[in-house]
Every structure is written in structure tokens, then in C-alpha cells.
Amino acid sequence: MGVMVSVEVDAATVRRGDQLMVGGHVCTVADMVALPQGGKRLDFASGESLTMRPVTVLWVTRCVDPRKR
């Protein structure tokens, strides 16, 4: 159980379960594949994918436990 917070992420800090809004649709990261030179391909639960370059910065929604720091 946790609360949803907005977090700025890049290819190094994005996690499975993060949610981002693409074209008005919420996409949940289901899997990730590391790419050469620090990029990542994010695979979403919907079957779509997004490639993040090392300099890509996105805002995601992440569920966190406020009791753990």
C-alpha cells in the first residue's frame, strides 16, 4: 500500500510500475530493455513501447510507501 507521487525520471532511474501519460492515455511500464550508450526501451502493459535516450527526462507517477525513506 502506498501513495501516488509525481517523480522526474531519466533512463537510469525509471522503474517497472511507473505510469506516464502518452497522448492522453496512461501507460504502465511492464518491462525495460537496456540499450547501448545508456538508453532504455520501455515496454508498456498495453503492448506499446517507448525509447528513452540517456538525456530524456519524463515525469511519471509512482506508488511509494511514505513510511519508508
> From residue 6, how far is each of 33, 37, 59, 63 by CA, in Å?
23, 27, 6, 9
Question: Can you tell me the distance from the alpha carbon of 55 to that of 40, in angstroms, rounded to the nearest whole number?
Answer: 11
Q: Write down the pTM of the prediction.
A: 0.87
62 vs 67: which has the higher pLDDT: 62
Mean per-residue pLDDT over the chain, rounded: 93
Which band of pLDDT confidence, cut at 50, 70 and 90, is reported for residue 67? confident
**What is the CATH topology of the domain spanning 3-64?**
SH3 type barrels. (2.30.30)
pLDDT confidence of residue 69: 63
